[in-house]
């Protein structure tokens, strides 16, 4: 059984292009949606993503919707805590594939980290 974990220097989740996430208003509140849209740079990446270090510049203070935590995923998606790891793994696989490709170094590193 695999357990989700964040892989440093990936950043796939920091690609926020709203046109690629048309259902944002379904799982974000109006205030969260405004905050989300304010974070999107001209290139679709979060303005707080450091492309050189491939890390979040505000990680400790990042918005709630950027956190993979049981409470957040329950509120946003109705995911029960015992389902969080599998759901987060699926989300990461989809996002990493979309951003970097299914055979990318980021995907290989993610799969290795979660034990696949």
pLDDT at 31: 96
pLDDT at 22: 87
Task: Please report how many Cα atoms fall inside a 13 Å half-sphere around the Cα of residue 57, on the Cβ side.
Answer: 9
Is 89:4 a contact under the CB 8 Å cutoff?
Answer: yes
Q: What residue ranges do the domains of the chain occupy?
A: 12-114
3-state DSSP percent of the chain in helix, strand and coil, to 5:
55, 5, 40
Dist. CA 72–CA 59, nearest whole Å = 16
Q: What is the DSSP string of 92-104?
A: HHHHHHHHT-TTS
pLDDT, tens only, 22-80: 899 999 999 999 999 999 999 999 999 999 999 999 999 999 999 999 999 999 999 99
Q: Quick one: pLDDT band at residue 10, thresholds 50, 70, 90?
A: very high
């Amino acid at each position: 059984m695999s357990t989700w974990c964040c892989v440093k220097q990936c950043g796939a989740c920091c690609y926020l292009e709203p046109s690629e996430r048309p259902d944002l208003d379904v799982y974000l509140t109006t205030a969260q949606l405004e905050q989300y849209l304010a974070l999107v740079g001209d290139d679709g990446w979060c303005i707080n993503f450091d492309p050189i270090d491939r890390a979040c510049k505000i990680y400790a203070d990042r918005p709630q919707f950027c956190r993979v935590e049981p409470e957040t995923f329950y509120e946003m998606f109705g995911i029960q805590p015992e389902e969080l790891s599998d759901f987060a793994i699926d989300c990461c696989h989809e996002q990493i594939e979309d951003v970097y490709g299914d055979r990318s170094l980021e995907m290989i590193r993610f799969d290795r980290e979660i034990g696949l």
